[in-house]
Amino acid sequence: MTELDFTSAADQARLVAAGTVSSAELTAHALDRIHRLDPRLNAFVDVLDEAALAEAADRDATPASERGPLHGVPIAIKNENDVAGLPTAYGGAAFTTPAARDGEIVRRLRGAGAVIIGTTRMPEFGIWPYTETSANGYTRNPWNPLRSTAGSSGGTAAAVASGMVAAGIGGDGGGSIRLPSSWCGLFGLKCQRGRTSASPATHLWRSLGVIGPLTRTVEDSALIYDVLAGSLPTDAWVADPLPQTLTQAYHSDVRPLRIAVTHRGGVRGLNADDETLTALHATADALRALGHVVTETDPPFPTIALPFTVQVAAGVADEAARADHPELLEHRTRTLLRLTAPLRGRVAWAEQHSIALGRRFADAFFSQFDLILMPTTASPAVAIGQLDGLGALAASQRSTKESGFTAIWNVLGNPAAAIPSGFSRDGLPLSVQLVGGPNAEPDLIRVSAQLERTRPWADRRPPIS
């Protein structure tokens, strides 16, 4: 079964549809890899051995006419999404009551034929850009186990990058899909605000958060987003419908686009390291060679620190209020909740201000350019243990550097993709971020697919794989 190692989710679905491999064989293969690799990486919270194999057997018994686009494909779920029968623990130890039913994202995946294979680790409530907790220790990067996976979807990133699964679900409230994708060599698209449902919650960190996949290929991301897309009446945010599916966009031609290149992010004074900037310029050159008009510029990024902080504070408080055992929340979390309590009364203003900032920036900038090319992170993966000995304030200050290029797009609401852009001298993945105007996911998928074809990355395997 080793020929299934690192097979994409789309290819796995095609193999099952052709009868070349069964869902049961795919699931057993994934479970074998999880049990061999996860002791070294600590990517999973719960592994659903018996339930996943039973679900796979049901998939194999389903008539071909009733099969969905992900039929038989094992997928991992970040531990902030409800999976029936498992506690939705948000990365910590304070939640013990199993979810009564699947959340909407998991329900749609099962409806498309996916096999839910387990839940993945995250920092408590996704607060920090490092997947480290007092309860569960470090999640380690398969490219170097002494380096961080980033966060908050770090468990999903480690599982996908190491080939335990072809794809997994993450969430992004300040970069939490894009940061782990950057440090683990994956493709990670944060969709437009309101593109996917947060149900049974009405939102994920107020107007900041979205739910979406981390994958090794652009096609897989498009395929999974086509399954997940669409809001419910209970969702606080609703994106405009797209003119085509993202799978259609993936297979369609690309018109020449106006692409702005910048070294700047949403945090003044933040600079990316030399290797990251070299990879950024190489990607810009590749886009020029593909026929795009690429211009270096200095976008008029708005100041987003206050609306971002207010919404994070309110989002964490919303989730912490559901804890079965609040006394088991991390000390940093309890301190953060206490220190930010005065801010939470401004959350309605922060939501409205974020939307207004997004509209103004789109009118001012995306009328002149189609996309922005910028770093995803300031450097390759840093060492594990970033939170060791730090209180809430020191951890927040350190975290600002990691999310300095990504959090602005959560505030403004724009879609943004982390795209692998090479490797550092130490063999660690590098990444660029491609950002679109409102509802520009099709352009992001098309251009990302161009880069994937000209500068392929999915064939590279990390040492722990």
Burial of 99 from C-beta contacts in 10 A (0-12 / 13-18 / 19+): middle
- pLDDT confidence of 86, banded at 50, 70, 90? very high
Mean pLDDT estimate for the chain: 97
Q: What pLDDT shows up at residue 3?
A: 84
Range of the domain at 270: 7-454
Under the banding of pLDDT at 50, 70 and 90, the label for residue 269 is confident
- 2 in any annotated domain: no
- 78 in catalytic set: yes
What does the pLDDT read at residue 267? 87
- In the set 162, 176, 207, 403, the catalytic residue is 176
Mean pLDDT over 273-295 rounds to 98
Structural domain contains residue 460: no
Catalytic residue, candidates 78, 207, 221, 399: 78
CATH for 276: 3.90.1300.10
- 190 labelled catalytic: no
Q: Has residue 2 got a pLDDT over 90?
A: no
403 is catalytic: no
The single-letter code of the amino acid at 368 is: Q
Cis peptide before 256 (omega within 30 of 0): no
464 within a domain of the structure (yes/no): no
Look up the pTM and report it. Answer: 0.97
| DSSP H or E stretch at residue 119 | strand 115-120
Pairing mode of beta strands 371-375, 429-436: antiparallel
Q: Is residue 93 part of a domain?
A: yes
pLDDT in tens, 220-256: 999 999 999 999 999 999 999 999 999 999 999 999 9
Choosing from 8, 152, 431, 448, the catalytic residue is 152
Q: Is the separation of the CB atoms in 124 and 133 below 8 Å? A: yes
User: What is the pLDDT averaged over residues 327-341?
Assistant: 97
Task: State pLDDT tens for residues 12-31.
Answer: 999 999 999 999 999 999 99
Confidence class for position 1, pLDDT limits 50, 70, 90: low
Percent of the chain predicted with pLDDT > 70: 100
C-alpha pair distances (Å), 324 with each of 93, 96, 330, 334, 363: 9, 6, 14, 15, 45
Is 184 part of any domain? yes
Both tokens assigned to 124: 């408590």
Sequence length of the chain is 465
Q: Is residue 365 part of a domain?
A: yes
C-alpha–C-alpha distance, residues 69 and 13, integer Å: 7
The whole-number average pLDDT for the span 325-329 is 98
Give mean pLDDT, residues 420-437: 98
For residue 270, tell me if it sits in a domain.
Answer: yes
Q: In the structure encoding, which two tokens stand for residue 78, read together?
A: 């970040």
Domain count along the chain: 1
In a domain, 216, yes or no: yes
Is residue 443 exposed (0-12), middle (13-18) or buried (19+ Cβ within 10 Å)? Answer: buried
> Which DSSP category does 344 fall into?
G
Inter-residue contact 418 to 187 (CB < 8 Å): yes
What pLDDT score does 420 carry? 98
Over residues 123-145, the mean pLDDT reads 97
